[in-house]
């Protein structure tokens, strides 16, 4: 088994995997744990990769399934602060927009998160359909609905 293509693909797509982790986990520690679990699951499943899809699409599918499976097993812990901070921390506008976007994305259901994450990775409708298992035309319909939902969330 030649592992070099997998190592190369993981290196090339680690940003995509980190985005998935950020979408499905709130704390840095949970994101790191999920990232490690995704890498483990990809490595473990690699011998069964048949090459019917692109390696990157296959990795993405394993990553999404891992994120969803571990999310269902582990209920998120809610931590309430005991006091409010005295001063608001100032962030640059880009970082603030990114945080707002990720907060809005977390309000989507799991299927919507998967589709929009693929779209944000500049994947074609055909690739999104292959990964998610839905019809290519329906991908466009779903994306339109998701974008409208995000606009509504972000206006609040």
- Give the pLDDT score at 154: 87
Over 80: is that where the pLDDT of 94 sits? no
Domain at 1-78: CATH code: 1.10.1740.10
**Would you say residue 91 has pLDDT above 70?**
no
- Whole-model pTM: value is 0.61
Cα separation of 62 and 42, whole Å?
6
Q: Is the dihedral of CA 66, 69, 72, 74 positive or negative?
A: negative
% pLDDT > 90, the chain: 31
How high is the pLDDT of residue 74?
53
The pLDDT, as a whole number, for residue 77 is: 56
The secondary structure of 79-112 as a DSSP string is ---SS--SSPPP--HHHHHHHHHHHHHHTS-HHH
Residue 52: what pLDDT?
A: 85
Parse the chain into domains and list their residue ranges.
1-78, 91-156
pLDDT of residue 149: 93
Strand, helix or coil for residue 68: helix
pLDDT at 98: 82
Query: Can you give the pLDDT at residue 50?
Result: 85
Q: What is the pLDDT of residues 40-52, one digit of tens each?
A: 999 999 998 888 8
Domain 91-156, CATH: 1.10.10.10
Q: Number of C-alpha atoms within 13 angstroms, CB side, residue 147?
A: 8
């Amino acid at each position: 088994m030649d592992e070099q293509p997998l190592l190369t693909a993981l290196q090339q797509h680690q940003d995509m995997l980190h985005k998935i982790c950020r979408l499905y986990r709130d704390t840095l520690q949970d994101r790191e744990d999920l990232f490690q679990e995704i890498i483990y699951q990809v490595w473990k499943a690699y011998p069964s990769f048949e090459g019917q899809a692109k390696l990157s699409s296959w990795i993405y599918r394993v990553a999404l399934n891992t994120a969803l499976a571990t999310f269902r097993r582990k209920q998120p812990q809610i931590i309430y602060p005991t006091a409010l901070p005295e001063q608001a921390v100032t962030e640059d506008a880009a970082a603030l927009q990114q945080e707002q976007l990720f907060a809005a994305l977390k309000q989507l259901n799991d299927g919507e998160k998967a589709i929009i994450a693929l779209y944000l990775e500049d994947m074609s409708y055909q690739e999104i359909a292959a990964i998610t298992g839905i019809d290519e035309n329906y991908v466009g319909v779903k994306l339109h609905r998701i974008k409208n939902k995000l606009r509504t969330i972000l206006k609040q």
